Amino acid sequence: MALITSVLSMRNLFVLSLALNVSLILRTMYEREQSHHWLSLETQKGQAVQETRLALSPTSSSSAATTQVNTQDGGEKILNLARGDPTMFEKYWRQMGDKATVVIPGWQHISYFSDVTNICWFLEPKFAKEVERVHKAVGNAVTEGRHIVVGTGSSQLYLAALYALSAHDLTEPVSVVSEAPYYSSYPSMTDCLKSGLYKWMGDARSFNKEGAYIELVTSPNNPDGHIRRSVVNRSEGILVHDLAYYWPQYTPISSPADHDLMLFTVSKSTGHAGMRIGWALVKDREIASRMTKFIELNTIGVSKDSQLRAAKILEVISDSSERAGSSAEGESFFEFSYNLMSERWKLLREAVEHSGSFSLPEFRPGFCTFLNRVSESQPAFAWMKCERDIEDCESFLQGHKIFTRGGKHFGVGTEYVRISMLDRDDNFHLLVKRLSAIHI
Amino acid sequence: MALITSVLSMRNLFVLSLALNVSLILRTMYEREQSHHWLSLETQKGQAVQETRLALSPTSSSSAATTQVNTQDGGEKILNLARGDPTMFEKYWRQMGDKATVVIPGWQHISYFSDVTNICWFLEPKFAKEVERVHKAVGNAVTEGRHIVVGTGSSQLYLAALYALSAHDLTEPVSVVSEAPYYSSYPSMTDCLKSGLYKWMGDARSFNKEGAYIELVTSPNNPDGHIRRSVVNRSEGILVHDLAYYWPQYTPISSPADHDLMLFTVSKSTGHAGMRIGWALVKDREIASRMTKFIELNTIGVSKDSQLRAAKILEVISDSSERAGSSAEGESFFEFSYNLMSERWKLLREAVEHSGSFSLPEFRPGFCTFLNRVSESQPAFAWMKCERDIEDCESFLQGHKIFTRGGKHFGVGTEYVRISMLDRDDNFHLLVKRLSAIHI
């Protein structure tokens, strides 16, 4: 009798759980229609995931819930890989222990100002020093003769660049373009305030308007991981290079990047998205000064606490890179991350091959001057295409409880999706397990 | 012989120093013409001050230079009180020692997300809890039934409010107004991107355009310290209350503020300007959601490190406030700050009276529910008027090496200046000494 009750309860729970998931998926799909921005979308999805977890696991706390994974996957769990939340790197930083800890007394760093002799007066000198050091250690960007501008993530620096590069006396806004597939947030970030200074004009390949323009070159590209060059090539153009992913774990470092305006961020290089710290390397003094002015007008500077923490994290990375080879101290950050990405891409490609329903971009290996050997491109996102007449890949995968971001957000067709490769281990393994099992 | 050489050297140095100061003042005045924004202006002035100091004190390091004060004032030092840098509070936080220290391990707070069940998904729960607690302890704002939105300083929240309150489908931008004298950054922050959503329309008293408008009510007011109410009073208006200075050290707390959208910041309440942390208390869920969306588009969230540090600082303040009266633990933060401001305003009024060349606003004392006694208004800025036919007060004071911000930046006449009351002790005492000695 006890057994029957137990079985009934489990069935009841299973049905209840299924119903809950269907309603959450429907709700999320409905909410998606209401929303145009990826992070709102993600939050709503995240909320659905969270609610599901909380419902299934009433003892889990809000903050702990996202780390809890049902490794006994009964297919219930909504897997949210639409965002690029770099939680994968947490493991490395746990291993580092106290080395990467910052301590900030209450009386320090009270002032608005960090260094009034610098064009970027809110730039912490220690952070600036570690930015220069890590680029030198990795060899991925020229810093000599550059001004460093710190931003609240590279998002703010992107907006600062638009402000700095726009001609404020023109009657019409400057055109902003990027080759599709482009970073899905560029359109909404550019146009959200209906600025009279700049305007999003879409795919750089089809751009044919006369006059000044700003071309965004993301290399390696988000979403597809390919190395990019500018495509418009007209004299009125100004280039902004978004090099968030030009680090050894993602792509072979061929030479130090040497462009006029380059953007970097700790989110993707070290994994510390929650710090909201990015930096720009800017050749022209006047442009650096105008970017600084934008950040004054926008947020009167950038968190000193996060700059100091970022400096510490970059210091640990440079220390570990300079030590590379001496095994006593453990792996360097980039070796650890490269190996993890390598393992993940191997598993993903096996799953996709086993399924037969999808395809992935192919990359040619290249010599990496940092690792001092031939290395692979293993992007932070998988840009996956649904094959076999699946027209809407995002919706199709949603049916399998895998949330991704569809191609139309990136200016291309719905047969593509972008999947984060940077989530925690358990989520990633669940992804490959599910993809592997899809056969059409 | 040695004596003569020594005297000559000192004279030479003095002349050199004078010449340097004159050239720096002239340069600053020239640069002021080129600049429209207060913080650029301040940076340039700060730079002048810094350069002077570095020139006079070649051993001083960049970061230490701003804390060095020539207490043997020979009239050489440029006193920059144009900005409201709240370094005065440093002293209290030094006294608190380890109590106010934060420790952040490298692996913590990596994710973009803080709490996906909250509308403001990047709001750290610990920070939200301490915001509610400090308002309850101080009694200066209603938090029940409010959504908290955290921002990179209240500047970002001001922009988020404009975005959230604008109707995005209108053909013309909504008018933004504030009663003069208004906060000098409102015009440039509002118009810097030539937004099609909102437009600065100046003094609320002379505003007579039909249609929707947003009125900014800063209370106590920056620059003049007076308690403010809305002045337009039309049905199409939406109010934003900037309550950065509604804390017991500046003004009597009469009752908990209970408006639809209220802005606060740690810069002025606790003195931690370098954190860049502000918060909004928002009654309407949809407005809170749109403000959150703006911050997503602008900076994809707000530094977690600074939120955690702000939570710790607010915790110490609430602890000290709840303990008030038990002398064993020392003064509460607000008692300490109130007494310091009280002493400073006393000294300033004495200096102004002694000089006879200036006047200051008068305030009526009021009952402060937090201090549980009648308390004074002692604003963070002195809004000073030059008397005796001095037409341009800012330039006049520059001649005495006191840098302030002139009335025209606040939408009024040049006979007024705003002077920061929150600088370090030595600078403040130099200010009163110099003002006291000016007789026309």
The pLDDT tens digits of the residues spanning A116-125 come to: 999 999 999 9
Q: Is the per-residue pLDDT at A30 higher than 60?
A: no
Closest CA to A339 of A81, A91, A80, A115: A91
Residues of chain B with pLDDT under 50: 1-8, 10, 15, 19-71, 327-328
Of A40, A50, A267, nearest to B117 by CB-CB distance is A50
Q: What letter does residue A71 receive in the DSSP assignment?
A: S
Q: Give the mean pLDDT of A306-331.
A: 83
d(CA B33, nearest CA chain A) in Å = 16
CA atoms within 13 A on the CB side of B73: 18
**Structure token pair of residue B405:** 């911000």
pLDDT at B322: 83
**Cα gap A344→B403, rounded to integer Å:** 59
First to last CA, chain A: 42
Token pair 């419902």 is at which residue?
A: A55
Residues 6+ apart with CB under 8 A from B157: B149, B151, B263, B278, B279, B280, B291
Helix ranges restricted to H, A139-251: 153-165, 186-191
The burial of A327, by beta-carbon neighbours within 10 Å (0-12 exposed, 13-18 middle, 19 or more buried), is given as: exposed
CB atoms within 10 A of CB A324: 17
Contact residues, chain B, for A275 at CB < 8 Å: 109, 303-305
**Cα gap B350→B252, rounded to integer Å:** 22
Contact residues, chain B, for A50 at CB < 8 Å: 116-117
Report the Cα A133 to chain-centroid distance in Å: 23
More confident residue, A132 or A6: A132
* φ/ψ of residue B174, rounded to 5: -75, 145
Token pair 């064993």 is at which residue?
A: B328
pLDDT in tens, A366-408: 999 999 999 999 999 999 999 988 999 999 999 999 999 999 9
pLDDT at B186: 97
Report strand pairing: A213-218 vs A261-265: unpaired
pLDDT at A324: 61
pLDDT at A426: 95
Closest CA to A84 of A421, A334, A378: A421
Give the lowest-confidence range in A284-288, A421-425, B75-79, B117-121: B75-79
CB atoms within 10 A of CB A4: 8
**Cα gap A62→A33, rounded to integer Å:** 27
In A, minimum Cα distance to B274 occurs at: A112
DSSP H or E stretch at residue A320: helix A304-322
**Cα gap B285→B289, rounded to integer Å:** 6
In A, minimum Cα distance to B92 occurs at: A107
The strand pairing partners of A386, in sequence order, are A358
Of A86, A94, A113, nearest to B107 by CB-CB distance is A94
The burial of B208, by beta-carbon neighbours within 10 Å (0-12 exposed, 13-18 middle, 19 or more buried), is given as: exposed
Indicate yes or no: CB of B105 within 8 angstroms of CB of A107: no
d(CA B271, nearest CA chain A) in Å = 6
Indicate yes or no: CB of B193 within 8 angstroms of CB of A192: no
d(CA B366, nearest CA chain A) in Å = 30
Q: Between A and B, how many CB-CB pairs are < 8 A? A: 265
Sheet-wide strand order for A405-406: A358-359, A381-386, A416-420, A405-406
Of B115, B195, B305, nearest to A305 by CB-CB distance is B305
> Which of B43, B199, B268 has the most A C-beta neighbours within 10 Å, making it the best mutation to test the interface with A?
B43
Of B63, B112, B312, nearest to A115 by CB-CB distance is B63
Of B49, B193, B312, nearest to A197 by CB-CB distance is B193
Closest CA to A333 of A131, A100, A141: A100
> Which of B265, B296, B336 has the most A C-beta neighbours within 10 Å, making it the best mutation to test the interface with A?
B296
pLDDT at B9: 54
Of A50, A114, A275, nearest to B116 by CB-CB distance is A50
Contact status, residue A227 vs residue A204, Cβ threshold 8 Å: no
> Which of A53, A88, A96, A110 has the most B C-beta neighbours within 10 Å, making it the best mutation to test the interface with B?
A110
pLDDT band at A11 (very low <50, low <70, confident <90, very high): low
**Structure token pair of residue A403:** 């949330």
Indicate yes or no: CB of A193 within 8 angstroms of CB of B155: no
> Which of A88, A107, A168 has the most B C-beta neighbours within 10 Å, making it the best mutation to test the interface with B?
A107
Residues 6+ apart with CB under 8 A from B329: B320, B323
Q: Is the per-residue pLDDT at A249 higher than 80?
A: yes
In A, minimum Cα distance to B156 occurs at: A299
**Structure token pair of residue A36:** 């145009």
Q: Is the per-residue pLDDT at A221 higher than 60?
A: yes
Helix/strand/coil for A75:
coil
The strand pairing partners of A417, in sequence order, are A384, A406
pLDDT in tens, A69-100: 334 566 789 999 999 999 999 999 999 999 99
Contact residues, chain A, for B293 at CB < 8 Å: 37, 40
Report strand pairing: B277-282 vs B261-265: antiparallel
Give the lowest-confidence range in A8-22, A166-180, A305-319, B279-293: A8-22
Q: Give the mean pLDDT of A166-177.
A: 90
Closest CA to A122 of A163, A155, A157, A162: A157
Helix/strand/coil for A289:
helix
**Cα gap B411→A205, rounded to integer Å:** 48
**Cα gap A157→A241, rounded to integer Å:** 11
SS3 string of chain B? CHHHHHHHHHHHHHHHHHHHHHHHHHHHHHHHHHCCCHHHHHHHHHHHHHHHHHHHCCCCCHHHHCCCCCCCCCCCCCEECCCCCCHHHHHHHHHHHHHHCEEECCCCCCCCCCCCCCCCCCCCHHHHHHHHHHHHHHCCECCCCCEEEEEEHHHHHHHHHHHHHCCCCCCCCEEEEECCCCCCCHHHHHHCCCECCEEEEEEHHHCCCCCCEEEEEECCCCCCCCCCCCCCCCCCEEEEEECCCCCCCCCCCCCCECCCEEEEEHHHHCCCHHHCEEEEEECCHHHHHHHHHHHHHHHCCCCHHHHHHHHHHHHHHHHHHHCCCCHHHCCCHHHHHHHHHHHHHHHHHHHHHHHCCEECCCCCCEEECCCCEEECCCCCEEEEEECCCCCCHHHHHHCCCEECEEHHHHCCCCCEEEEECCCCHHHHHHHHHHHHHCCC
Beta strands in A44-184 (DSSP E): 79-80, 102-104, 147-152, 174-178
pLDDT band at A39 (very low <50, low <70, confident <90, very high): very low
Greatest distance between any 2 Cα atoms in chain A: 83
**Structure token pair of residue B248:** 């017991």
